[in-house]
């Protein structure tokens, strides 16, 4: 209690500077990811743009400490700026705007006589949901200007976008508030009781102490680790400009080596090498590292077994894995959340007792009082369901959709960062996939499936940039700088509101002035269209009328396997297989990062076995140096590419 009473808040000058950097982050992320395209600098749960900018801020603050000490920022003030940049990066990237803006306009531009989307979908779209008029057919001016670039004499049709952005923005604020309440309720259990490592909070905390005599920046190994990715990505950037300069390839595809049956049935398996990812995974327990890569390869073994027995292998809708694996993972999510709930029962009983005035539980230094967090979460859940219902989703399915999204998918994704340190949050199923394994999708009706095509594109299909993880990491960071958690309410709220406005303006200004067809394909003619492509047959009633009951069998298998993993891990401390590794095994996250996980495990396992904790601590600065070396050079290349108009190297976080 004494430590809490001595905690400090922040300052208005820090919030003011944070607002400036929020706007800067929104522009840098949007330009890098949508225009340059080769540098996806903001969509990771630990965004490169944030740690890169924060690195230079810390160095600048060190100069203030040396020459103008009275203007120096405190650790709490520095973390205020960091947390505001963190939520801004997520909002301006894959966490929201890269999915929201295109999802409202793409269906109009890509509707044509061949796909008949104007007849299939437009009658089910409420006019206040989109910037075009659903009653006037495809290829309207508002979408043509967006995709093909405005003429010089034209202006952005802000009036067309005002209502739908206000409506969807209201939903976003409701959902984000729900996640803020959820983070407030989870913090004490995950941080104080279970003592999860929160790897993404460690590096910024090291930064603020980095200039101390024994700090990170004073360690020679840090700068050796920094130099390796800095040199390699500098060479790769120069190679893109001057091909005679040699470059270093950091990716390949293993499928080209598996050409014979049954191995050619293995799902897409690339090999990416990221120094930053290896650095982060070095911070994780060896058992978890082992589980992550071994379960990933067990999915590939299942592909081979399925081919040997001539199974009909279908692909999970909108995900890069096979259906019989994707449904196992869905079962794993269900068990994992109930297990986390079971482990948290003693704490949750105290929380409920505090909410209903039966027990006193000190929440004075939580993000918000427990009663506010509990009822706020309930209200957010109900309002989100009500919004979906008014938009056209049937009430019961709206409840199911929001329940799975907020309390199963989001919690497992948050756990994957807090405990697993995974740089991306990606699942392998949508709520509608759970429905379609027991009932034909066509029974949902055209209105529900049409709105789901947009809602899933914005919220449930791609979980990268999930803001819940940013809230939890920010709460963990407050402990490291002895900062009042309650002060984060103002900090995060300000960062979110400024980012919503800034990113919204930028994400309209860029395509209308450059043409979305010339920008990042995933954002403009990938993610916003896949839901419509997947649901078209069911809405038209030409497909989606049958159920493959074998998928329910694989869902049940996933439940059984995860229960077994949970029981063994509970009974035997030496049990090497972590249920989280199984739940994440089929995700795009592990497809991208399985090799860095394997490398980190291959380094850390013998190091811990033969050198112990002392050797682990000795080399820790080297691996942290690789993290901000890769992320820092990514920020520099973004600035150079924008200023000089030259191509930037690609970075291994697709």
| pLDDT for position 4 | 55
| Assigned domain for 182 exists | yes
Residue 213 predicted with pLDDT over 70: no
The total domain count for the chain is 1
| pLDDT for position 544 | 66
| Assigned domain for 539 exists | yes
Three-class secondary structure of residue 512 per DSSP: helix
Rounded CA separation 416/414 (Å): 5
Sign of the CA dihedral with 595 first, then 599, 605, and 606 last? positive
The pLDDT tens digits of the residues spanning 40-78 come to 888 889 999 998 899 889 888 888 877 887 888 999 999
Sign of the CA dihedral with 288 first, then 290, 292, and 298 last? negative
| pLDDT for position 9 | 75
To the nearest whole percent, how much of the chain has pLDDT over 90? 77
Rounded CA separation 272/613 (Å): 29
Provide the mean pLDDT of the chain: 92
Q: What is the mean pLDDT of residues 510-534?
A: 95
Residue 2 predicted with pLDDT over 50: no
Rounded CA separation 464/477 (Å): 21
**What confidence tier does 208 reach under pLDDT thresholds 50, 70, 90?**
confident
Three-class secondary structure of residue 11 per DSSP: coil
| pLDDT for position 393 | 97
Selected residue with higher pLDDT from 175 and 650: 175
Domain containing 112 equals 2-644
| pLDDT for position 3 | 47
Q: 45-49, 83-87, 508-512: lowest mean pLDDT where?
A: 45-49
The pLDDT tens digits of the residues spanning 296-347 come to 999 999 999 999 988 888 899 999 999 999 999 999 999 999 999 999 999 9
Q: What is the mean pLDDT of residues 579-585?
A: 96
| pLDDT for position 69 | 79
Residue 1 predicted with pLDDT over 60: no
Q: What is the mean pLDDT of residues 207-227?
A: 83
What b/e string do you get for 476-505 counting C-beta neighbours within 10 Å, with b at 16 or more?
bbbbbbebbbbbbeebbebbbebbbebbbb
Selected residue with higher pLDDT from 209 and 629: 629
Rounded CA separation 199/73 (Å): 24
| Assigned domain for 653 exists | no
Cβ 375 vs Cβ 299: under 8 Å: no
Residue-by-residue DSSP string for 142-193: HHHHHHH---TT----HHHHHHHHHHHHHHHHHHHHHHHHHHHHHHIIIIII
Radius of gyration of the chain (CA): 24
Cβ 218 vs Cβ 212: under 8 Å: yes
**What confidence tier does 276 reach under pLDDT thresholds 50, 70, 90?**
very high
| Assigned domain for 365 exists | yes
Rounded CA separation 471/397 (Å): 28
Say how far residue 7 (Cα) sits from the centre of its chain.
30
Nearest to 183 by CA among 468, 381, 421: 468
| pLDDT for position 212 | 66
Q: What is the mean pLDDT of residues 261-271?
A: 91
| Assigned domain for 650 exists | no
To the nearest whole percent, how much of the chain has pLDDT over 70? 98
The pLDDT tens digits of the residues spanning 90-137 come to 999 999 999 999 999 999 999 999 999 999 999 999 999 999 999 998
Q: What is the mean pLDDT of residues 271-288?
A: 93
Cβ 419 vs Cβ 291: under 8 Å: no
| Assigned domain for 205 exists | yes
Selected residue with higher pLDDT from 288 and 39: 288
Cβ 377 vs Cβ 433: under 8 Å: no
Residue 605 predicted with pLDDT over 50: yes
Q: Read off φ and ψ for residue 53, nearest 5 degrees.
A: -65, -40
Task: Report angle CA 6, 9, 10 to the nearest 5 degrees.
Answer: 145
Q: What is the mean pLDDT of residues 439-457?
A: 96
The pLDDT tens digits of the residues spanning 335-391 come to 999 999 999 999 999 999 999 988 888 898 899 999 999 999 999 999 999 999 999
Q: What is the mean pLDDT of residues 593-609?
A: 95
Rounded CA separation 641/28 (Å): 11
| pLDDT for position 6 | 63
| Assigned domain for 652 exists | no
Residue 214 predicted with pLDDT over 80: no
Q: Highest-confidence range of 216-225, 307-316, 351-360, 595-604, by mean pLDDT? A: 595-604
Rounded CA separation 405/625 (Å): 36
What is the end-to-end Cα distance of the chain in Å, rounded? 44
Q: What secondary structure, in 3-state letters, does 104-140 show?
A: CCHHHHHCCCCCCHHHHCHHHCCHHHCCCCHHHCCCC
């Amino acid at each position: 209690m004494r430590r809490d009473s001595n905690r400090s808040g922040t300052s208005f000058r820090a919030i003011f500077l944070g607002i400036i950097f929020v706007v800067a982050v929104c522009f840098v992320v949007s330009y890098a990811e949508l225009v340059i395209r080769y540098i996806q600098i903001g969509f990771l749960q630990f965004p490169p743009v944030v740690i890169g900018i924060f690195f230079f801020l810390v160095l600048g603050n060190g100069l203030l400490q040396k020459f103008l000490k009275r203007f120096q920022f405190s650790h709490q003030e520095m973390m205020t700026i960091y947390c505001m940049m963190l939520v801004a990066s997520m909002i301006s990237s894959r966490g929201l705007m890269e999915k929201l803006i295109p999802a409202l306009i793409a269906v109009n531009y890509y509707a044509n006589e061949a796909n008949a989307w104007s007849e299939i979908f437009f009658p089910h779209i409420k006019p206040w949901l989109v910037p075009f008029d659903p009653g006037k057919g495809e290829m309207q001016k508002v979408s043509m200007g967006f995709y093909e670039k405005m003429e010089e004499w034209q202006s952005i049709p802000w009036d067309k976008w005002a209502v739908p952005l206000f409506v969807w923005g209201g939903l976003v604020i409701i959902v984000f508030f729900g996640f803020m309440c959820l983070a407030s309720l989870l913090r004490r259990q995950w941080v104080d009781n279970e003592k999860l490592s929160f790897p993404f909070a460690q590096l910024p905390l090291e930064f603020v102490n980095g200039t101390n005599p024994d700090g990170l920046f004073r360690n020679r190994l840090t700068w050796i680790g920094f130099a390796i990715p800095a040199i390699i990505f500098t060479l790769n950037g120069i190679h893109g400009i001057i091909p005679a300069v040699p470059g270093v390839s950091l990716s390949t595809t293993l499928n080209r080596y598996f050409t014979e049956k049954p191995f050619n049935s293995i799902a897409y398996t690339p090999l990416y090498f990221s120094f930053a990812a290896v650095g982060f995974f070095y911070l994780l327990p060896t058992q978890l590292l082992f589980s992550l890569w071994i379960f990933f390869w067990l999915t590939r073994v299942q592909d081979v077994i399925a081919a040997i027995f001539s199974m009909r292998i279908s692909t999970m809708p909108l995900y890069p894995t096979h259906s019989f694996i994707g449904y196992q993972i869905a079962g794993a999510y269900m068990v994992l959340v109930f297990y986390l709930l079971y482990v948290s029962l003693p704490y949750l009983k105290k929380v409920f007792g505090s909410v209903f005035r039966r027990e006193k539980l000190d929440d004075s230094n939580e993000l918000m009082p427990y009663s506010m967090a509990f009822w706020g979460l309930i209200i957010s859940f109900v309002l989100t369901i009500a919004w979906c219902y008014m938009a056209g989703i049937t009430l019961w399915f709206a409840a199911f959709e929001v329940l799975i999204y907020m309390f199963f998918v989001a919690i497992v994704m948050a756990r994957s960062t807090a405990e697993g340190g995974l740089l991306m949050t990606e699942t392998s199923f949508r709520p509608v996939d759970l429905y379609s394994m027991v009932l034909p999708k066509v029974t949902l009706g055209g209105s529900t499936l049409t709105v789901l095509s947009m809602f899933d594109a914005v919220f449930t299909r791609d979980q990268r940039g999930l803001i819940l993880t940013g809230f939890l990491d920010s709460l963990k960071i407050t402990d490291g700088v002895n900062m009042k958690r309650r002060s984060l309410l103002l900090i995060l709220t300000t960062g979110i509101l400024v980012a919503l406005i800034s990113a919204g303006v930028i994400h309209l200004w860029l395509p209308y002035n450059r043409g979305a067809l010339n920008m990042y394909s995933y954002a403009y003619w990938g993610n916003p269209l896949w839901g419509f492509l997947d649901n078209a047959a069911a809405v038209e009633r030409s497909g989606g009328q049958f159920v493959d009951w074998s998928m329910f069998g694989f869902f049940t298998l996933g439940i059984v396997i995860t229960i077994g993993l949970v029981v063994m891990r509970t009974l035997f401390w030496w049990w090497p297989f972590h249920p989280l590794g199984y739940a994440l095994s089929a995700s795009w996250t592990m497809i991208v990062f399985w090799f860095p996980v394997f490398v980190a495990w291959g380094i850390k396992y013998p190091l811990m076995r033969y050198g112990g904790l002392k050797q682990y601590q000795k080399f820790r600065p080297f691996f942290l140096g690789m993290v901000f070396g890769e992320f820092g050079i990514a920020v520099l290349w973004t600035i150079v590419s924008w200023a000089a108009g030259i191509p930037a190297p690609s970075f291994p976080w697709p």
